[in-house]
């Protein structure tokens, strides 16, 4: 009887897929800009050589939402992408153990959200972009994502 209950729970969970998670990826516009990304229509997010960022790539699931941040110059969130393919071995890596994901652009933000605006928002004081500024792939809470979208409106 107990086993039957858990089978029914599992069947119910399959009907309601998990909500997409939210992420932020950083790219220097001189290396790979949002404009180039949208022109390409998709990109393998390769070249990540930080263990924590790699683990974040591995945690991404198809359909997850990704904010695209221009780092170094601009320092602003400029667009929204989605994960099109989950983690697989990075073809640009010289050694095994590094992964990448495929991203597709969803839409540009109506108004880019600057680093200064993120720093000024009290609800974003703990965002990974500020706490771990060198991290190139980071998770966002649903609240952090919503606040950034509100700032972009």
CB neighbour list of residue 27: distance below 8 Å, 6 or more residues apart: 33, 34, 37, 68, 69, 70, 71, 136
Q: pTM, whole model, 2 decimals? A: 0.88
Q: What is the mean pLDDT of the chain?
A: 93
* pLDDT, tens digit, 9 for 90 and up, residues 45-98: 999 999 999 999 999 999 999 999 999 999 999 999 999 999 999 999 999 999
11-15, 24-28, 58-62, 146-150: the lowest-pLDDT one:
11-15
Q: How far apart are CA 21 and CA 29, in angstroms?
A: 25
Structural domains in the chain, sorted by start: 20-152 (3.10.590.10)
Per-residue confidence (pLDDT) for residue 19, from 0 to 100 = 75
Average pLDDT value for residue range 129-152: 96
Res. 148 pLDDT band, cuts 50 70 90: very high
Sign of the Cα torsion 48, 136, 36, 84 reads positive
Res. 3 pLDDT band, cuts 50 70 90: low
């Amino acid at each position: 009887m107990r086993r039957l209950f858990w089978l029914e729970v599992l069947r119910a969970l399959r009907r309601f897929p998990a909500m997409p998670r939210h992420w932020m990826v950083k790219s220097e516009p001189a290396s790979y800009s949002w404009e180039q990304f949208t022109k390409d229509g998709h990109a393998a997010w390769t070249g990540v050589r930080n263990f924590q960022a790699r683990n974040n790539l591995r945690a991404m699931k198809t359909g997850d939402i990704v904010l695209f941040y221009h780092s170094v110059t601009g320092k602003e969130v400029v667009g929204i992408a989605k994960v099109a393919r989950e983690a697989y071995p990075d073809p640009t890596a010289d050694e095994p153990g590094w992964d990448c994901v495929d991203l597709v652009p969803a839409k540009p933000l109506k108004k880019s959200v600057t680093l200064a605006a993120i720093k000024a928002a009290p609800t974003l004081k703990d965002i990974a972009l500020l706490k771990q500024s060198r991290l190139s792939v980071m998770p966002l809470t649903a609240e952090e994502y919503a606040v950034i979208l509100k700032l972009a409106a």
